[in-house]
Structure 1
Amino acid sequence: MNQPFTMGRRALLSAGLGALALGLTACAGDDPPDATVALDTPLAESVPSGTRLVIGDKEHQKAIEFSGEAKKLTFEVEWANLSGGPQTLEAFRARALDLGSVADIPPIHSHWTGIPTRIVASKFRQDPLEHAIYRLGIAPGVAVASLADLRGKKVAYSPGQAQGALVLRVLRKAGLSKQDVQLIELPSTGDVYANALASRQVEVAPIGGVQVKRYEGKYGKDGATTIAHGLRDDPGHLYAPITVLADPAKAAAIRQYVQVWARAWRWREANPDEWIDRYYVKDQGLTAEDGRWIVANAGVADIPPSWADAISRHQETIDLLAEETGNKPLKAEDLYDRRYETVAADALAAGGA
């Protein structure tokens, strides 16, 4: 009999990277199997008893719980309180995490830093240019009205993260090179970019979500602005180390999680008022107005039944990053575990939350 979903005693792992490296090595369970195990073995329909996953899907975890989808998981889950490329990569390295939620750059960066991973679920945004995740924040008093005006500016840059890749893509679109601007390496977590803009530590930085609204509202009177970059910035993925995916039990559990993950996205879109109140207001401490702005700006999630277009776009990003960073080119196809390609879309077609 499969074990029911449980939060476990250590439901929230520390987000501190030092703690991950020092104290959480055993959190992801037993040592993973040999990575040479073939990843083309068909996924099991049921999850073996005793299976456990540590999952870092910080925001969507709440949608899975609120929607009731968490009750459908037949394996033990430990939620890790971390998100983003650097944190998930460090947790993978420490064997403290089985599955993480990121944009399109961390799966590339993981291969370049010696931790091969595979993507198991992908979502995008319908009308991705209208519902972009990021805008370029412009520091108070800095004259930037178009991408061409970036020349000579101090631009926030975070290697290994989606914002860093976006900066490189924006420069290319503007006909500029890295030498035409001054890249300032900063982590893109929390309020770092907004604060750096306000203090003029940087003059341009990609900011997203409610940070856009707050930045414009707080510093607009001082001359702060934001501008659209006009590029797609909408990929969102679940990914896991190949050592985890080579474990048949964990691979089956991930399949079940992907199904729940997809249905919870549709629940969020069908129940915006409840989502705003329970997550953005009561859990995150935002105002209802901020929550409504985030939901409206996010648009509708596109969870395609085929990854062909996504892989093609991912290859373009890989080629750009390899050229700009000197890393070895990769095949985008190798970043995806195609066994999961239709899992999310099939779950939506079958109905659920």
Structure 2
Amino acid sequence: MKRRIFFHLLASIGFFATTVHMAIAAEAVDPNTKLIVADQSEFVRNLLEASGEREKLTFQIEFPNFAGGPAIYEAIRAGALDIAYVGDTPPIQARAAGTLLPIVGTFTRDVAQYRLTTRPGLTINKLSELKGKKVSYIEGSGRQVFLIEALNRAGLTLNDVELVKLRVADLPDAIRASAVDVAVLQEPHVTRLVKQVGASPVLDPEERKLLPSTSYFYARPEVLADPQKAEAIKAFLGAFVRAGKWSNDNEAAWSKFYYTDFQRVSPEDTAAILEGQSPLVFQTSIEAIPHHQKLIDILYKAGSIKEQFDAKQSFVSDFDQVVLDAR
């Protein structure tokens, strides 16, 4: 990493330590405060609405929807977002580009929501059979590290497959049209493509054990320095954790609200999605750091980032108590 970027990051870390603490001291959120939260697949908005937590928030909140981490990164860097729901790789790629966007919240599922999904007519029984295949590749998305780890488990590298760079929104059509052999997809797309065109998840049981499905909320530093915005984030994170607990405890109601009614997935396919899904788990920064370091190490060893960062510097701990109180 260039010296100028390195010292900029160090200065930013010190900035977070002082400004976040000062910001959290605010006691109430002004109703005129607006929090803009980047969403994906409208998951966050639906979760808050289904659980009844959104109506309890006393400030203005918006959920612009995005397809993938790279688009979110550009929007937050432009100042159009306050915080963002992203997969496990975007905060690392942002940091590699010289922008330290502090992680304020972490949630995970023990079983990954990503699936390596093959085009119609292709069956892959072992991860080693990925060798030589045309595989979707989205740098800066959580799909990136999932694919790299799949190759690692098979004794392969990125050089052993033909990488096809696509946008997240283009992945289902790429499988449908057989433009790639394998894509890293999420539900409900996997179930839909299996039924509609005869696509297939990779059958190797090891694929289900690759990585947990970890996601983050990261924030613009300027937002954390604003007392009202920081207090709004605090209230939002508490609501999100409570909503997640509700979804764990009310799986049928949540799945009907989100998959069946909103995503227009049939009840039978909704049941199949739930069968492969594990509960949401909410972590403090201290609990989240070891896995984040593992992700950094995977990307570094694959040559996808040039610096092996210290994961501790990617987190702020000022919101940990909110998570502890709500989970």
Structure 2 partner of 1:87: 71
- The CA deviation at 1:225 is 4.8
Structure 2 partner of 1:158: 138
CA contact (8 A) 2:103 2:216 kept: yes
2:256 counterpart of 1:277 = yes
Structure 2 Cα separation of the partners of residues 82 and 152 of structure 1: 31
Q: Any idea what SS the aligned residue of 1:290 has?
A: helix
Structure 1 Cα separation of the partners of residues 320 and 65 of structure 2: 27
Structure 1 partner of 2:95: 111
Q: Name the count of aligned residue pairs.
A: 305
- The CA deviation at 1:150 is 1.4
Structure 1 residues 138-162: Cα deviation after superposition (integer angstroms, max 9, x where no partner): 2233353101111111111110001
Q: 2:38 aligns with which of 20, 45, 56?
A: 56
- The CA deviation at 1:40 is 5.1
Q: Any idea what SS the aligned residue of 1:298 has?
A: coil
Structure with more of its chain in helix, by fraction = 2
Question: Whose relative contact order is higher, 1 or 2, with alpha carbons under 8 Å and at least 6 apart?
Answer: 2
Structure 2 Cα separation of the partners of residues 225 and 261 of structure 1: 30
Structure 2 partner of 1:177: 157
2:178 counterpart of 1:200 = yes
CA contact (8 A) 1:140 1:197 kept: yes
Q: Taking structure 2 as the reference length, what is the TM-score of the superposition?
A: 0.85
User: What percentage of residue pairs aligned between the two structures are identical?
Assistant: 31
Structure 2 partner of 1:5: none
Structure 1 Cα separation of the partners of residues 240 and 164 of structure 2: 36
Q: 2:168 aligns with which of 162, 182, 188?
A: 188
Distance 1:132 1:78, change over 3 A: closer
Structure 2 Cα separation of the partners of residues 143 and 70 of structure 1: 43
Segments of structure 2 that go 5 or more residues without pairing to the other structure are 1-13
Q: Partner amino acid for 2:141?
A: Q
Structure 1 partner of 2:310: 331
Segments of structure 1 that go 5 or more residues without pairing to the other structure are 1-34, 349-353
- The CA deviation at 1:119 is 1.2
Match runs of 1:226-265 below 5 Å = 226-228=202-204, 229=207, 230-265=209-244
Q: Partner amino acid for 2:127?
A: L
Structure 1 Cα separation of the partners of residues 262 and 120 of structure 2: 31
Q: Taking structure 1 as the reference length, what is the TM-score of the superposition?
A: 0.79
Deviates more, 1:40-49 or 1:228-237: 40-49
Q: 2:246 aligns with which of 267, 275, 299?
A: 267
- The CA deviation at 1:45 is 5.5
Structure 1 residues 212-237: Cα deviation after superposition (integer angstroms, max 9, x where no partner): 222222233xx745335131131021
Structure 2 partner of 1:141: 121
